[in-house]
Amino acid sequence: MSEQNDIFISGYDTFTDGILITDNTFSLLSCNQAWKQLFNLPGDWTAHHFDEFVQILSERRVETEPLYSILAGIRSNPLWAGSLDLMAPNGQKIHLQSRPIPDTNKACIGRIWICTDVSEIPVTGERLEHSEKLFKMIFDLIPEGIAITDLTNGTFFEVNSHFNQWWGYAREEVIGKSAIDLDFWVDINQRIDIVNLIKRDGSCKLVPVKMRGKDKKVRNILFSGRIITIDGTPYLLSIPFDVTELMQYEEKVRSLASFIELNPNPIFEINESGTITMNNEATVQVIHDLTGTNDIYRFIPDDLNEILYAIQNGIETTFNREIIVEERTFIEYIYVTNRYHTARIYLTDITKRKRAELELMQKNDDIAAAYEEITSTEEELRQNYDRLVEQEHILYESEKKLKMIVDHIPGLVLTTDADMNVKSIFGAALAKIGLTPNTGVGHKIKDLFESIDASLLDAHNQALQGVVSTIEGYYRERTFLLYASPICDASDTITGTIGIAIDITEQKTLEKERKNLLIQLEKNLVELAFLNDKIRNPLAIISSLVDLHAPEIEEPVNRCVQDIDDIIDNLDKRWIESEKTINFLQKHYGINVEFQK
């Protein structure tokens, strides 16, 4: 809803006029206390649908036939607006007004109903003020761009809030000016006729005229007007209804109706009881040509239950049926519309097509045999394709794993063509020599690696001759172990080379360090052996001298000598174990060091 409608709903409960709001299906949304008081309804009265309220009026012997007529009119035209008077048996007279509530696109989203007890209306200042406020609110709620003008000179006195949307003029642009000044009338004589009509009858209703707004586009308008008196001065309340789009739509409808009537194929409609309510001339002509009668009900399809159910319940759907009339086959396209509760049926003669289908089916045996053969071949191809896809997947996974391995080994992989041009290069060692993957593709190896060891280049040259070689070389102070091999095509022709160079710089450094450590260990062990002899000899001399010259201390001295001798024995054992360690390193690491005891 618009902002004005929101304000209206929030404060309508304070109005003395009865106000009720429904949606566009007549479901009750809300009503104020004044509405309940006017119709003697309980304070907690609620209802789900406007029809329930009408039923209450009927039970109270209020004449409701005019109200039912209005409801029917609103269902056919949701934008209808008008009023009527309801008379109760007790003499109470209630004036009921109804107007649509539009959204910003002028589509009806609900309806407002306003009731006023006009049995006795005392004229008071408060009542007049309230009426003016209510009038102004309703005046602004009306979705058309309406205006109040001076009846004598046509000067604009007031316009509603929708005037700008309708005509493009702001309120301050029109107040005090006339429709003639602003060039509203396409034909000034139409205005003269309307003014004369209103002066004579006091009002006019839905007079067709042509008008234009600020954009100067001519519109087809149904003009309604009424004389109102403000402070003793007669004014014209004008309500235009733009039917430009409606007239264009009607033109399309007339064109469509013409299409239906001129269509050479039968077209007709049936209602919810299966009765034909409309048909074109071709329906009668075709049935007459086939049967010699005018019995168009021969075109009614068999088993109408599903179709009639859809019509009766307003289910918008379509059906396709085939029907045979005098050996002629027709296909019926059946469209059920929930708006008009009818089913429109379009017939097309497909006899020739059916005969062609029959001939095609008669030839189907040969086609079926060929199809079986094709199917068998297709299945074989499909299986071969599946195997190919599986092999491609395996190859992809293998390449993926190989790439993962190569990316993590401390080396690089390089491939060339037969002219020694680099085709690819990748590997974890690239960063150590200042390169990135596939650097220098298309260049010669010698141009990419300017200071490369000649032996590494020679290994690739030998690979082009079919020789597989393993060689150790140097590049940028790093040592590489290169495995070079030729690359051959399906006919075993050498098309290039592949070289896998493993960076063994750290490995060579470690080997050198291990060798140096082993040599040092060997030297230490030799010195230990000499040390043992130098210690044992003095000990033996000490023991002999004590035995000859100082027998009184022989025992403690011998104990000390024994302790020292035990320590030397332990050193001998450690020396023997160290000798085994050196032998193990020599055996498993190939370090040849001469060992001396």
Tell me: do 324 and 433 sit in the same domain: no
Query: What is the count of structural domains for the chain?
Result: 5
- Determine the pLDDT at residue 7: 42
Domain contains 45: yes
Domain contains 257: no
Domain end among 503, 524, 545: 503
Domain contains 41: yes
Q: In one letter, which amino acid is 38?
A: L
Domain end among 82, 106, 139: 139
What's the whole-number mean pLDDT along residues 84-108?
78
240 beta partners? 223
pLDDT digits (tens, 9 = 90+) for 180-198: 888 999 998 998 898 888 8
Short-list 253, 308, 250, 238, CA closest to 275? 308
Tell me: do 582 and 491 sit in the same domain: no
Domain contains 224: yes
- Determine the pLDDT at residue 123: 46
Q: Which two tokens stand for residue 112?
A: 């407002």
Q: In what order do the strands lie in the sheet with 494-503?
A: 422-426, 411-417, 494-503, 478-488, 469-475
pLDDT digits (tens, 9 = 90+) for 521-549: 667 666 666 666 667 677 777 777 777 77
Tell me: do 133 and 149 sit in the same domain: no
Domain contains 400: no
Domain contains 366: no
Domain assignment of residue 570, given as a range: 510-589
Greatest C-alpha distance within the chain: 172
Strand 218-230 and strand 422-426: the pairing is: unpaired
Residue 246 burial (CB count, 10 A) = 12
Tell me: do 32 and 127 sit in the same domain: yes
Tell me: do 473 and 529 sit in the same domain: no
CA–CA distance from 269 to each of 61, 275, 281, 568 (Å)?
40, 8, 13, 126
Domain end among 503, 528, 552: 503
- Determine the pLDDT at residue 186: 92
pLDDT digits (tens, 9 = 90+) for 458-473: 888 888 888 888 888 8
pLDDT digits (tens, 9 = 90+) for 374-430: 888 888 888 888 888 888 888 777 667 666 666 666 778 888 998 889 888 888 777
DSSP 79: T
- Determine the pLDDT at residue 505: 81
Domain contains 462: yes
Tell me: do 133 and 51 sit in the same domain: yes
Q: Is the pLDDT of residue 134 over 70?
A: no
Q: Which is more confidently placed, 399 or 561?
A: 561
Tell me: do 113 and 40 sit in the same domain: yes
CA–CA distance from 176 to each of 117, 158, 179, 211 (Å)?
36, 9, 10, 19
Q: Could you tell me the CATH number of the domain that includes residue 445?
A: 3.30.450.20
Domain contains 300: yes
Which residue in this structure is represented by tokens 């107040």? 175
Tell me: do 126 and 173 sit in the same domain: no
Tell me: do 33 and 122 sit in the same domain: yes
Q: Which is more confidently placed, 404 or 162?
A: 162
Tell me: do 450 and 492 sit in the same domain: yes
CA torsion angle for 191, 193, 196, 201 (degrees, to 10)? -110
Q: Is the pLDDT of residue 499 over 80?
A: yes
State the burial class of residue 308 (Cβ atoms within 10 Å of its Cβ: 0-12, 13-18, 19+).
middle
Tell me: do 481 and 516 sit in the same domain: no
Tell me: do 238 and 313 sit in the same domain: no
